[in-house]
Structure 1
């Protein structure tokens, strides 16, 4: 399993396994009309994701041709737009998924009624230059949140970037839409670390250095059995197949560093 598939799987589990059974409406028809009107003005591509139904509504302006979207409106049976992801640079896509996971964990530190006050921004490379378009601007905003904090509807926007300067990374940011404040990465990367316990992070750091369970046990003064239990918990919590994939995902999310 690639790092991209690992982190995409974690995204899927994080959003689709939220508790939606609380009898609240997600007002989707209102948001569908609003998104359609916005795309008609901006001619961008917008994806309205319904996590409760595991569906996405894709609205494509003229920019949709970059992603092979011939229809102005389409519905897919997935809350994740793989038909668009396939056009994006794989390394940048991993960073984009990690940013969204960090965004999710950051929002858990603010009142749920304020989730829509925040958005992500990133600049992502296309796999191949299409129609002289090398980079796109990407934004994610959560439009509808239930009273228990579960996120029901998300909006992703794709538009051409005028910043064509070559550099590594996606320049990913989380910002407050109302004030323009850019959230310090330390705040949301620390929040992402709550996926694992402090002890599990210590074990994962040791794994990232190539240490065996016996070596980790000696270093941390715990039993080999305890190390193996921590490793299994890490795999289960991060929704990956092995600790090597857990290391890759944790590095991208900023939970650990080399």
Structure 2
């Protein structure tokens, strides 16, 4: 289910970075420093290149501490969203929505204030034992372009000392200049409204009935059943019956 009309990559693209304002010799020096730091630190460090819209670096601590694939970490620039692939799927949706909302906040500020913030997230990832553990991830600007735009984003991820049971992503935004903090609140999604017939069909889908069986049970045609199925899939924002059942459970439409 698509959680937002705007993606993180689209928010990054709002920087309108230009190659003429970026010096990759700076990044090569930073990368050497990060390799040295990761050798003495147990935190998992990563860098996002906002100009190239991709990850540029991840420390080997992701392999040792969280069981990530060593080859994919070493070649992260070519692996797309590999880091996110180990996030809890429910948390991934919340994280993307939070990052988009925070992006909107950042771009509402004067340009000279946009790089003053550190975003601190708490969410769940798979560890080496294929168990979900809660981590703390801190993200802030590492390097700016020559005209002051955020170019490289530095992240540090550590296993949270408090492994509380929660299905909520927590987020705190820290102003690095004055120490002020706030916790953003996501706007509530619009309530899903199904007709009584669509809800009946969704409940029967949950019980494993096929369209022909649903049609017989409700004394309507298969064609009518299929129209209702397509309508409820559209309203739930999903592609198939399994996703519809999951969405129905998540929204409280199904028990």
TM interval, short-chain normalised: 0.5 to 0.7
Map residues 90-169 of structure 1 onto 2, 5 A cutoff.
Answer: 90-127=89-126, 130=129, 134-146=133-145, 150-169=149-168
**1:13 matched to 2:10:** yes
* Structure-2 residue corresponding to 1:59: 58
Q: Give the structure 1 partner of residue 27 of structure 2.
A: 28
TM-score normalised by length of structure 1:
0.61
For the pair 1:68 / 2:68, whether they are aligned, the reply is: yes
Calculate the aligned-residue CA RMSD, in Å: 3.7
What secondary structure sits across from 1:168 in the alignment?
coil
Task: Kindly state the Cα deviation for residue 101 of structure 1 after the two structures are TM-superposed.
Answer: 1.4
- Give secondary structure in 2 for the equivalent of 1:110: coil
Unaligned runs of 5+ in 1: 194-203, 213-241, 246-258
Distance 2:51 2:98 in 1: 21
**C-alpha separation in 2, matches of 1:113 and 1:25:** 18
Judge conservation of contact 2:60–2:70 (CA < 8 Å) in 1.
no
Between the aligned partners of 1:19 and 1:96, the Cα distance in structure 2 is 23
* Secondary structure, counterpart of 1:12 in structure 2: helix
Partner of residue 42, structure 1: 41
Alignment check: 8 A CA contact 2:68 2:128 kept: no
Contact (CA 8 Å) 2:125, 2:133: kept in 1 or not?
yes
Which region of structure 1 is more displaced relative to structure 2, 126-135 or 29-38?
126-135
Instruction: Work out the number of aligned pairs and report it.
Output: 197
TM-score, normalised by the number of residues in structure 2? 0.61
Higher RCO (CA 8 Å, separation ≥ 6 residues): 1
Runs of at least 5 residues in structure 2 that lack an aligned partner in the other structure: 196-233, 238-255
- 3-state SS of paired residue (1:154): strand
Using the TM superposition, give the Cα deviation of residue 116 of structure 1 relative to its aligned residue in structure 2, in angstroms: 3.4
1:101-128 Cα distance to aligned partner (Å, 9 max, x none): 1222222233434333211111111246
Give the drift of 1:87: 1.1
